[in-house]
Structure 1
């Protein structure tokens, strides 16, 4: 395991750990091909600080993000940290509204434009119960109609309303927003959603899909919830991928 470096920014030990986990998450997303040039975002609330979160510096690729260059901003868009970087307004508007109004439910948030997830967001039926992973999410996803690039604060109310009690919001014709109480939980949810979408796209390319009944979906979700605790809500998955990226490049820890 890589040596734990001392913080390169003035912050609490809790914030530094959040920075490390978020930087690692950016590198994992990059490794998995989930980056989108310098766009899209992953954010995490700063532990112990109300209405404050960390997000990627605008202008850097995901493989350039490190624990110390993450930007600390409040939900009004003010840079309250030491970063010299700016943030992308589209990312700030969307993430800030969720962090401000959803509390711990949205501690960690990602928004991606992967080909598979955008394709499913653009499909009239959305995510269909046609494969193992897709069954995980049936009845647990909100949908929000496309309104253009997300830079207008008033859209935030509709985003939260359409999310409802769920933790995934499919922005139609755009891409998904995935959130959780922890970074590992958000990551493993995003991983499973990506797989569900990849398989759906491949399945529908063959013609008519075999749709799984709601009765079987209900049994699947019941049994899955029993098994979920074994994986530590994504902790095992996240730590495994951190080991992988450490072998490739551990500079995210800087």
Structure 2
């Protein structure tokens, strides 16, 4: 049975999750937010959220297909001793978060250029200087405890605690992590997060004083974004339309 036939015979919800996440990998590679063969995305299957899909070790984002994703169980650490063991850092972060954060249905972790640059500043806050940066006003956790590669469960627990009730974490001297209730919502958040960080870093680079929005305007703008979540599903659908035309093998 070939790969496409296997995918068509899967539970439709898993097939959709696989295709959506593969599409995100491909688009992130197109946007140059990946870093070599590192970084990881995952999405929970329907149910409690402990069974999840994640990219296998050392597969380039630009080549990712639906069938490449590993099906893992956050409660089964024995996978780390098998032939299909994921990257230890991925298991430490994603495996732990899928186990302890039921709201983290989709987890995206990247070292995208502008967000990573911002994470390396002494003050990595996303200041509200326009409509997109204001989306993240008072809605970002900041981790300042980087001590090296996160390859232990304890580090995953620490990061989950730092994230708290937010969906975005600036990982100081490291990168960013985004969670969402769906792949579409997580990707849309990541997309606008990188745009926001780009705008802020370019404004910083001008050397001119920033025109920061008032707290009231920033908060209202953030709330307006929160009532506009339906667009995230169309955003991902459009990403898939692009890939259907130019890289249709992502669904294999």
Shared fold (TM-score greater than 0.5)?
A: yes
Instruction: Please show how residues 139-158 of structure 1 align to structure 2 within 5 Å.
Output: 139-145=138-144, 146-158=146-158
Contact 2:120 2:173 in 1 (8 A): yes
Residue 93 (structure 1) shift: 0.8
- Residue 13 of structure 1 and its aligned partner are, at CA, apart by 2.4
Q: Which residue of 1 aligns with 2:204?
A: 204
Distance 2:168 2:57 in 1: 24
Unaligned runs of 5+ residues in structure 1 are: none
Partners of 1:130 and 1:241 in 2: CA distance? 28
Q: 1:31 to 1:78 in 2, by over 3 A?
A: farther
**How has the CA–CA distance of structure 1 residues 215 and 180 changed in structure 2, closer, same or farther, with 3 Å as cutoff?**
same
Deviation, structure 1 residue 79: 4.1
TM-score (norm 1): 0.89
Rate the CA distance shift 1:6–1:212 in 2: closer, same or farther, 3 A.
Answer: same
Mapping 1:212-231, distance limit 5 Å: 212-226=213-227, 228-229=228-229
Give yes or no for contact 2:57–2:87 (8 Å, CA) kept in 1. yes
**Cα distance in 1, alignment partners of residues 55 and 9 from structure 2:** 18
Residue number in structure 2 paired with 1:123: 121
User: How far off is 1:156 after superposition?
Assistant: 2.4
**What is the aligned partner in structure 2 of residue 187 from structure 1?**
187
Superposition deviation, residue 184 in structure 1: 0.3
Moved over 6 A (4+): none
For the aligned residue pairs, the C-alpha RMSD in angstroms reads: 2.0
Residue correspondences, number: 244
TM-score, reference length from structure 2:
0.90
Task: Compute the displacement of 1:116 (Å).
Answer: 0.4
- More moved, 30-39 vs 181-190: 30-39
Contact persistence 1:133–1:195 (CA under 8 A): yes
Partner of 1:124: helix, strand, or coil? coil
Cα pair distance change 1:216/1:118, threshold 3 Å: same
* Residues in 2 aligned to 1:79 and 1:66: alpha-carbon distance in whole angstroms: 21
For 1:52 and 1:10, locate their aligned partners in 2 and report how far apart those are by CA, in whole Å: 19
* Change beyond 3 A, Cα 1:250–1:77: farther
CA contact (8 A) 2:49 2:105 kept: no
Are the equivalent residues in 1 in contact too, given 2:243–2:250 (CA < 8 A)?
A: no
Aligned counterparts of 2:78 and 2:31: Cα–Cα separation in 1: 31
Check conservation: 1:184, 1:233, Cα contact below 8 A: no
